[in-house]
Amino acid sequence: MTMDAMSRSRYARHWLWLSVLVILADQFSKWLAEASLSAYQPVPVIPMFNLTLAYNSGAAFSFLSDAGGWQRWFFIALTIAVVTMLFSWLWRMHAEERLHALSISLILGGAVGNLIDRIWLGHVIDFLDVYYETHHWPIFNIADSAITVGVVLLIYDLFVNDHGEHKDSD
């Protein structure tokens, strides 16, 4: 392994701590939501925000949630493939790609957080309920928030920062 490859692996491990933090915060918050909320019973917190325990057997916005059960295995396989790709991407990053690494780490942590639910429970636990008047955004969780923030930062980074080709020396 070259010196550049060794420094990149240390760099990737540095960012994986953020992914682990997202996973822990997500899993703890879901445990807390299940322990203290009743399913589909909103608990007002502030105007336009409730805590509402919900279960999603589909993907984002409950896509395919009523597909009969096969979607669980499809989303598990898809998430494992995406997590593998993200981990590999993070592992190959250079130290100057901080925003890129931040983005991938957030997405990776969120994906694994929801993957854990899907594997152990067969559905994802959601509990953050944002609304305006009678219009509710689909209920979501910390993992979904990390994925969303990560994707927004990644898109910003890809459009704003110059990512010239890096010479690989491994």
Q: 162 an active-site residue?
A: no
Residues in the chain: 170
Q: Catalytic one among 144, 162, 168, 170?
A: 144
Q: 66 an active-site residue?
A: no
Q: Closest by alpha carbon to 150, among 11, 57, 19, 12?
A: 19
pTM of the model: 0.85
**pLDDT tens, position by position, for the chain (170 residues)?**
554 555 656 677 789 999 999 999 999 999 999 999 999 999 999 999 999 999 987 666 555 555 566 677 888 999 999 999 999 999 888 888 899 999 999 999 999 999 999 999 999 999 999 999 999 999 999 999 999 999 999 999 988 876 655 444 44
- Residue extents of the structural domains in the chain: 3-160
Q: For residue 133, with 0-12 CB atoms within 10 Å meaning exposed, 13-18 middle and 19 or more buried, which class applies?
A: exposed
Q: Catalytic one among 26, 117, 126, 129?
A: 126
